[in-house]
Amino acid sequence: MVDWKNPPRLFIPGPIKVLPEVLEQLARPTLGHRGKEYSQLHGETVGMLKKMLSTEQSVFLSTSSASGVWEGCIRNCVKLDETILCTMCGAFSDKFAMVSRACGRTPDELKVEWGQAITADMIDKKLATGNYAAVTIVYNETSTGLTNPVYEISEMMKEKYPDVLVFVDAVSGMVGLPMHFDRLGWDVVFASVQKAFSIPPGLAVFAVSDRAMEKSKTVPDRGYYFDFQEFAKSAAKDQTPTTPAVPQIMALHYQCTRLLEEGMENVWARHKKMAEYARAWTKENFDLFAPEEYASNTLTAVKNNRGIKVAEVIAALQQKHNTVFGNGYGKLKQDVFRIAHMGDISLDDLKELLGWIDEEIK
């Protein structure tokens, strides 16, 4: 029988393991979100996030999942008569296109098979055929364990399509993968804190370029909750437009402090080391779902080419060790399983998990 009061240790692709000292931040006395104490917390947190994301532009905190910023960037930066190029290579990049339609915009799809990467050449060929206001990209496709070559894409975009806005879903990429927002020339990037930040869910972090903020001023019917102009007005006072998730922001402040002390280059190297171990184990026992050159450093999608009963292995690990990993997402549920190695998951944690899986599949 399950017991939500004694939850399993999580190696699913989010939410993931949270350290006790991070949970302690959630138990601090709360703050009035219009008081000076909160403004101090907010300002310090955003300042650290700007360093982590390598940006001098706007960084906002939203009490929502990162999925809300899908809607935010579309409604703020794309007019009803403009077209968006939506690149689609998995479940979450597909949903980005779905949200575009739900917001009444016109998406044009650039679609590849799940597990294949979106390349700069593909986007170049597509953008050359029409007039696009923006392009949507997923940095790290959580459903397939694939990292798109965003640095190459960004260089191409800056050179050939400097007027096209770039919206990037970095939900399972931010913190764990390199990110230099200003250098990349992106216009919106966003993530949830329950992935590589290793914080319980309920908060999104997003950066917005100056030109996207200016474009937002010209777009009518932006709504309210995700209106970038409302975020900017509140940010000038180190506040949020609506009541923020103060406990999560306290935890975010704590984690940002730790990450900057470690150094972002070291953080990225730590994630790469775990990923290399997971990929070596995968190739020895199964196969990678994504091409190795595009395999993610924050989670590994394992192709179940041995036909093991993944659900039974997960159930066995939960019963014996109170630990779970992830099965496949959507149409890949029976064919793939996913192992997270991001945030405060350690290499020793990962080795222990894979050892337990070895015991079951033998």
Please report the DSSP string for 133-144 in residue order: SEEEEESEETTT
pLDDT digits (tens, 9 = 90+) for 85-108: 999 999 999 999 999 999 999 999
| Segments making up each domain of the chain, as ranges | 9-17+264-361, 20-260
Could you tell me what percent of the chain has a pLDDT over 70? 100
pLDDT digits (tens, 9 = 90+) for 268-279: 999 999 999 999
**Paired strand residues for 83:** 106
Q: What share of the chain is helix, strand, coil (3-state, %, to 5)?
A: 45, 15, 40
CB atoms within 10 A of CB 67: 17
**What average pLDDT does the segment 127-155 reach?**
97
191 three-class SS:
strand
Structural tokens at position 31? 């703050």
pLDDT digits (tens, 9 = 90+) for 212-252: 999 999 999 999 999 999 999 999 999 999 999 999 999 99
Structural tokens at position 308? 């093991």
Residue 302 CA, chain-centre distance (Å), reads 20
Whether residue 314 is predicted with pLDDT greater than 80 in this model: the reply is yes
Phi and psi at residue 86, to the nearest 5°:
-105, 115
CATH code reported for the domain at 20-260: 3.40.640.10
Task: Give the confidence band of 334 by pLDDT, cuts at 50, 70, 90.
Answer: confident
Q: Determine contact, residues 132/157, Cβ cutoff 8 Å.
A: no
Structural tokens at position 193? 């804190």
CB atoms within 10 A of CB 280: 11
Give pLDDT, residue 362: 86
Q: Determine contact, residues 110/117, Cβ cutoff 8 Å.
A: no
**What average pLDDT does the segment 2-23 reach?**
95
**What average pLDDT does the segment 125-149 reach?**
97
**Paired strand residues for 9:** 323
Q: Would the CA dihedral through 261, 266, 272, 277 be positive or negative?
A: negative
Round to whole Å and give the CA distance between 257 and 263. Answer: 10
Round to whole Å and give the CA distance between 117 and 108. Answer: 18
Whether residue 1 is predicted with pLDDT greater than 80 in this model: the reply is no
Whether residue 24 is predicted with pLDDT greater than 90 in this model: the reply is yes
9-17+264-361 folds as Aspartate Aminotransferase, domain 1 (3.90.1150)
CB atoms within 10 A of CB 304: 18
